Structure 1
Amino acid sequence: MCKKILTTLSLILFASAYTFSQKTYDLDGLRDLTNYWEIDITGGANQFLGDLGGQKGIGRDGLKDYKTSANRILAGVSGTYNITNYSAVNLAFNYAGIYGADSIIDNTGNMERWRYYRNLSFKSNVFEATATYTFYPIMFMYRNKIELFRFNPYISTGIGLMHFNPKAKLDGKWYALQPFRLEGQGFEEYPDRQPYKRTAIFIPVNVGVKYYFNNRLALSAGLMMRKTFTDYMDDISTTYIDPALFDKYFSPEKAAIAKQLYSRSLTPWKVKPDIVKADASDKDSYVTFSLKLSIRLDKRLYIYYPKL
Structure 2
Amino acid sequence: MPKVLLFIALLFFTYQLQAQSTWEIGGSIGGAGYIGDLNPNNPVKVSGVSAGIYGKRNFDGYFSAKLNVAVGNIAAYDSRSNNQQFRERNLNFKDQLRELSLIGEFNFMNYIPDAGPNRYTPYIFTGIGITSYAPQAQDYQGGTRSLRPLKTEGQIKPYGNNTLVIPYGLGIKYNFSGKFTIMADMGYRYVFTDYLDDVSGVYPDKHGMGTTAALLSDRSGELTGHYIGSAGSQRGDFKAHDTYFFLNFTIAFTFVTAKCYY
TM-score by length of 1: 0.72
- With over 3 angstroms needed to count, the CA separation of the structure-2 counterparts of 1:67 and 1:82, relative to structure 1, is closer
- Within-5 A mapping of 1:162-241: 162-170=131-139, 171-186=141-156, 194-241=157-204
Equivalent residue number for residue 127 of structure 1: 98
Kindly report structure 1 stretches of 4+ aligned residues shifted beyond 6 Å.
Answer: none
In the TM superposition, what whole-angstrom CA distance separates every residue of 1:150-199 from its partner, at most 9, and x where no partner exists? 1111001110110000001111221110111111111xxxxxxx531110
Is 2:86 the partner of 1:115? Answer: yes
Q: Is the alpha carbon distance of 1:116 and 1:132 closer, same or farther for their aligned partners in structure 2, counting shifts above 3 Å?
A: same
SS at match of 1:103: helix
The answer as to whether partners of 1:35 and 1:301 remain within 8 angstroms in 2 is: no
CA change 1:245–1:41 in 2 (3 A) is same
Which whole-Å CA distance do the structure 2 matches of 1:259 and 1:74 have between them?
32
The superposition leaves residues 195-240 of structure 1 with CA deviations (integer Å, 9 ceiling, x where unpaired) of: 3111010100020001001332000000001111100000110000
The 1:291/1:301 distance shift into structure 2, 3 A limit, reads: farther
Check if 1:86 corresponds to 2:44: no
- State whether residues 217 and 293 of structure 1, in contact with CA within 8 Å, keep that contact through their aligned partners in structure 2: yes
Partner of 1:261 in structure 2? 216
| Structure number with bigger Rg | 1
Contact 2:219 2:227 in 1 (8 A): no
Aligned to 1:159: 128
Structure 1 CA distance for aligned equivalents of residues 247 and 235 of structure 2:
30
Q: Deviations over 1:219-268 (max 9, x none)?
A: 0000001111100000110000111121xxxxxxxx12112111111463
> How far 1:298 sits from its partner (Å)?
5.5
Q: What is the CA-CA distance between 1:283 and the residue it aligns to?
A: 1.2
Residue from 265, 284, 287 that aligns with 2:242: 284
CA distance, structure 2, for counterparts of residue 300 and residue 40 of structure 1:
21
Question: Which structure 2 residues correspond to residues 142-157 of structure 1 after superposition, within 5 A?
Answer: 147-157=116-126
Higher helix share: 1
Distance, in Å, in 2 between the alignment partners of 1:240 and 1:45 is 32
Cα distance change of structure 1 residues 104 and 67 upon mapping to structure 2, 3 Å threshold: farther
CA distance in 1, matches of 2:103, 2:214: 43
In the aligned structure 2, how far is the partner of 1:83 from the partner of 1:67? Answer: 35
Equivalent residue for 2:253? 295
2:193–2:240 CA contact under 8 A, matched in 1: no
Against the structure 1 CA distance between its residues 50 and 270, is the aligned structure 2 distance closer, same or farther, given a 3 Å change threshold? same
Structure 1 residues 274 and 296, CA gap change in structure 2 (3 angstroms): same
* Mapped partners of 2:238, 2:57: distance in 1: 39
Q: Which residue of 38, 42, 56 maps to 2:28?
A: 42
- Count of residues in Structure 1 that have an aligned counterpart in Structure 2: 236
Note the C-alpha offset of 1:299.
5.8
SS of 1:244's equivalent in the other structure is: coil
CA displacement at 1:34 relative to structure 2: 4.2
Cα-Cα RMSD: 2.3
SS at match of 2:86: helix
1:98 and 2:74 equivalent? yes
SS in structure 2 opposite 1:117?
helix
Q: Do the aligned partners of residues 150 and 133 (structure 1) sit closer, same or farther apart at CA in structure 2, a change above 3 Å counting?
A: same
Among residues 49, 52, 58, which one is paired with 1:73 in the alignment?
Answer: 49
The DSSP-based 3-state class of the residue aligned with 1:84 is: coil
Instruction: State the alpha-carbon separation in 1 of the partners of residues 89 and 145 from structure 2.
Output: 19
| CA contact 2:169–2:186 (8 Å) conserved in 1 | yes
Task: Report % sequence identity.
Answer: 28
TM-score (norm 2): 0.84
2:168/2:188 contact within 8 Å kept: yes
Distance 1:139 1:216 in 2: 15
